[in-house]
Amino acid sequence: MKQENALRHNWTKEELLAIYNKPLMELVYEAASVHRQWHNPQEIQISTLLSVKTGGCPEDCSYCGQAARYHTNIKVQALLPTETVLAHAKKAKDSGSSRFCMAAAWREVRDNRDFDRIIEMVKGVNELGLEVCCTLGMLSESQAQRLQEAGLYAYNHNLDTSEEFYDEIISTRKFDNRIETIKNVRKAGITVCSGGIIGLGEKPADRISMLRSLANMEKHPESVPINALARVAGTPLEHLPKIDIWEMVRMIATARMVLPSSMVRLSAGRIEMSEVEQAWCFMAGANSIFTGERQTLLVTPNPGVDEDMEMLKNLGLKPMQKEVKETCSMS
Ligand code: SF4
């Protein structure tokens, strides 16, 4: 049973590290127990992610194939027509998705015609009865308000990594810029989707620090994507080793323990995980996955919807129906 007053917002690094470093079986058992107190462990939320504007981004995130400055083979695509996006959303709904996320490779939202078109898309997807999510870069308070009025349910803005390690990964913005946008999203009454990536060369202490930043927010993000680095050829991180599955499981289990009410989303890097490895992640408390059309997640490979549905069936899991909308409390 949910106990809203059981949520903590004052975790110390030592407490988090002690959880992260527990003997693995113990950690997974405890996380699975917490998962069962807060969620139906048989349900997995299926979210579809569509890149509505691809590549050509002025930022320098070292992990991203969409940064204009890296020589990747990603095809730049201008903002898609609204009708095309709505056709994708309809298809996603018909395939079992309850959330549709639109991503644009922008540094920040500008108050121009493209933003007006995003507003039209948000209205259209909302009318289809899907939870609408966007990830568009940095956002001002008034832009967040416009999105909320159009029916936006969630805004994705990942912390990426720890505050301490941030400059090693991105130089074109600061960790505080991320926090600022998240605050603007909250003020507008939109739910927050925020997590990060592991496998960037960070230490366990950085993972813990990132989780602590999320867990000590005044209100926990409703969604927490945990990504494994997708090593994109042409980016500075392309030669880093693949993240060990047990590190991923530890990260998910720790997220589940300290953010018990949040949806913990298994995101990028899933293509490199076997069904057994993904099952471990679900056991550790992951209860959401991204599917992308054409078997891509933005610009990196991802399992296809049919493959995912087959996996859920094999594991005795089922797609979650659309959540009852919560009213976000203003912070
Ligand atoms: S992660 Fe986002 S902000 Fe960073 S380069 Fe890629 S598209 Fe741009």
Domains of the chain, by residue range, sit at 10-314
- pLDDT (0 to 100) of residue 103: 95
Average predicted confidence (pLDDT) for the chain: 91
- Which member of 57, 134, 281, 328 is catalytic? 57
Phi-psi category of residue 145: left, alpha or beta, with phi > 0 → left and psi -120 to 50 → alpha: alpha
pTM of the model: 0.91
Please report the DSSP string for 15-42 in residue order: HHHHHHTS-HHHHHHHHHHHHHHHS-TT
CA angle 324, 178, 63 (to 5 degrees): 100
Mutate to test the pocket of ligand 1, among 59, 156, 159 (most ligand atoms within 8 A of CB): 59
281 carries an active-site annotation:
no
Residues 60/66/68/71 CA torsion (nearest 10 deg): 100
Q: With a 6 A CB cut-off, is 302 part of the ligand 1 pocket?
A: no
DSSP 6: G
- Centre of ligand 1 from the C-alpha of residue 58, in Å: 8
* pLDDT (0 to 100) of residue 95: 83
pLDDT (tens place) for every residue of the chain, 331 residues total: 456 558 999 999 999 999 999 999 999 999 999 999 999 999 999 888 899 999 999 999 999 999 999 999 888 999 999 999 999 999 988 888 888 999 999 999 999 999 999 999 999 999 999 999 999 999 999 999 999 999 999 999 999 999 999 999 999 999 999 999 999 999 999 999 999 999 999 999 999 999 999 999 999 999 999 999 999 999 999 999 999 999 999 999 999 999 999 999 998 788 889 999 999 999 999 999 987 655 565 666 667 778 888 999 999 999 887 654 433 333 2
Atom 4 of ligand 1, residue of closest alpha carbon: 61
Q: Is the CB of 158 under 6 A from ligand 1?
A: no
Q: Which pair of tokens denotes residue 186?
A: 């909250």
Atom number of ligand 1 nearest to Cα 170: 4
CATH superfamily, domain 10-314, is: Aldolase class I (3.20.20.70)
Placement of tokens 């939202």 in the chain: 109
Choosing from 134, 193, 281, 328, which is the catalytic residue?
193
Instruction: Answer yes or no: are the C-beta atoms of 20 and 208 closer than 8 Å.
Output: yes
Q: What is the pLDDT of residue 291?
A: 76
Give me ligand 1 centre to Cα 57, in Å.
6
Q: Answer yes or no: is the C-beta of 214 below 6 A from any ligand 1 atom.
A: no
Question: Is 57 among the residues known to form the active site?
Answer: yes
Q: Is the Cα dihedral 14, 15, 18, 19 positive or negative?
A: negative
Looking at the CA of residue 59, tell me the nearest atom of ligand 1: 5
Q: Could you tell me where the beta strands, DSSP code E, fall in the chain?
A: 43-53, 99-104, 131-135, 154-156, 191-193, 196-198, 223-228, 263-266, 288-292, 296-297, 300-301, 318-319
Q: Rounded distance, CA 239 to CA 324, Å?
A: 43
